[in-house]
């Protein structure tokens, strides 16, 4: 008898912690839609996690909220709108394109364009530098040049290399 009471007492903390649980009777289709939605929504408590990944109580509440709304027959756009109404565009990992998010969406492209322009300008400038230096020569001139190079005296021996500094 005493052992039984003791065993029951041990269960109590388990019960207390058991309250924060996912809704029971998972339904595969609902869970799949939930996963798709939850992976696109930011958990505002941990900010860099989606509400699918997060174990924060709020993320759990929001997952249950989404489950209920799916069960109530609301579509994905409606559920997303529900979240944005409450938490703002920041909950969306893919925020809509509007005036306040224009820099976010266009910034990287703008940087790529600037980079490409700078790259092209530099390349063109280099080409401009080397082109006037290059002089077209005839075959005869080339042969003469090679002959000259063959005959050229060896360069004077190099000066003794400086002693390496001891490390």
Q: What token pair was written down for 84?
A: 């944005």
In the complex with other proteins, the residue whose CB is nearer, 125 or 167, is 125
CA 93, CA 98: separation in Å to the nearest integer?
Answer: 15
Q: Which of 68, 69, 47 is nearest to 58 (CA)?
A: 47
CB of 33 to other proteins, least distance (A): 19
Task: Return the number of the residue (85 or 150) whose C-beta is nearest other proteins.
Answer: 85
Of the two residues 85 and 151, which places its CB atom closer to other proteins in the complex? 85
Evaluate the CA torsion angle 62, 65, 71, 77 in order and state its sign: negative
Identify the three-state secondary structure at position 26: coil
Q: Compute the distance between CA of residue 39 and CA of residue 55 in angstroms, rounded to an integer.
A: 13
**Closer to other proteins at the Cβ: 90 or 137?**
90
Q: What DSSP state is assigned to residue 38?
A: H
């Amino acid at each position: 008898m005493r052992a039984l009471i003791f065993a029951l007492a041990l269960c109590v903390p388990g019960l207390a912690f058991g309250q924060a649980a996912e809704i029971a009777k998972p339904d595969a289709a609902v869970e799949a839609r939930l996963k798709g939605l939850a992976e696109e929504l930011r958990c505002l408590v941990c900010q860099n996690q989606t509400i699918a990944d997060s174990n924060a109580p709020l993320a759990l509440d929001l997952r249950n909220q989404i489950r209920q709304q799916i069960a109530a027959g609301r579509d994905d756009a409606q559920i997303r709108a529900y979240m944005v109404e409450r938490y703002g565009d920041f909950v969306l990992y893919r925020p809509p394109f509007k005036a306040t998010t224009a820099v976010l969406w266009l910034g990287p492209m703008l940087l790529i364009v600037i980079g490409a322009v700078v790259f092209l300008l530099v390349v063109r400038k280099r080409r401009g530098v080397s082109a006037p230096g290059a002089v077209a020569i005839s075959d005869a001139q080339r042969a003469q040049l090679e002959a000259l190079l063959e005959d050229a005296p060896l360069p004077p021996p190099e000066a003794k290399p400086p002693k390496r500094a001891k490390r």
